[in-house]
Amino acid sequence: MAEVKKNLGKLIAVHGLSPAHIQRAVFITVLSFVFFMGTMVAYYVRQELLFFLLASAFLMVYIITLFSWIAQRKTALEIFEKGVAYRKYSAKWDEIGEVRPDGTIVLKNSKQIAISSAIHELDRAILFIKSKIVSVA
């Protein structure tokens, strides 16, 4: 497992984040922003501290969700001719010991690459990786 991508050959497939996870993040972001704006208007009209506290809470939810959405949008599992890459880690087929059903790739040197369950078609990618491991071994 290297910090940089090795020479893994031609790119075969890219599995990005699941559209359902992206839609949930966008929905929560938009909804929290709408509630933030609504409670700020209520605070402006009624001048009560409770509305300001609610607006602050919705603003925090908005900021945290927006930050996590931006940070996770580039997450992708890349499958190459000679191996696999996920985030900053990569491994060649002969370095992979096993692939667990939860998406954890266990290397022969006992290190692990944990793949997020939010990856689109993760089960299909796991089956492909397992087939490549069997054909190399």
pTM of structure:
0.74
The number of domains in the chain is 2
Domain final position from 34, 51, 72: 72
Residue 110 is assigned to a structural domain of this protein: yes
The domain containing residue 34 runs over which residues? 19-72
Look at residue 129 and give its three-state secondary structure: helix
- Shared domain check, 121 and 99: yes
Digit-by-digit pLDDT tens for the chain (137 residues) are 444 566 888 999 999 998 988 899 899 999 999 999 999 999 999 999 999 999 999 999 999 998 988 888 888 999 999 999 998 888 999 899 999 988 899 999 889 999 988 899 999 999 999 998 877 66
DSSP H or E stretch at residue 104: strand 104-107
Q: Which DSSP category does 26 fall into?
A: H
Q: Is residue 5 part of a domain?
A: no
Residue 50: inside a domain: yes
Residue 115: inside a domain: yes
- Beta-carbon contacts of residue 118 (< 8 Å; ≥ 6 apart): 17, 18, 21, 72, 75
For residue 89, the Cα-to-chain-centroid distance in whole angstroms is: 14
